[in-house]
Amino acid sequence: MTHRVGAKGQVVIPKDLRDQLGIEPGDEVNFWLHDDHVAVRPSAHRRPLRGRFSDLALTQELEGDRAADQARDRAR
């Protein structure tokens, strides 16, 4: 795979490589010089999970359980 470096020094990481490495939009990556080439790896610091699963039914179920717990606590 060959890609051209843009005017700002940017290069697109090909989709199949992003998929293999689990790199998603907003993720941080690390770069380093390895002998005669540049290597890239996903950063250990991943983007926060908050909001990632808000559209799943599990979220509504957990919110309902929490509301029931809070109502029970208020009744005590």
Top-confidence residue, 50 or 9: 9
Closest to 3 in 3D by CA, of 38, 36, 29: 38
Calculate mean pLDDT across residues 14-30: 90
- Between CA 12 and CA 10 the distance in angstroms is 7
- Between CA 69 and CA 67 the distance in angstroms is 5
Structure tokens at 32: 């380093």
User: Which sequence spans correspond to the domains of the chain?
Assistant: 15-75
Q: What is the pTM of this model?
A: 0.52
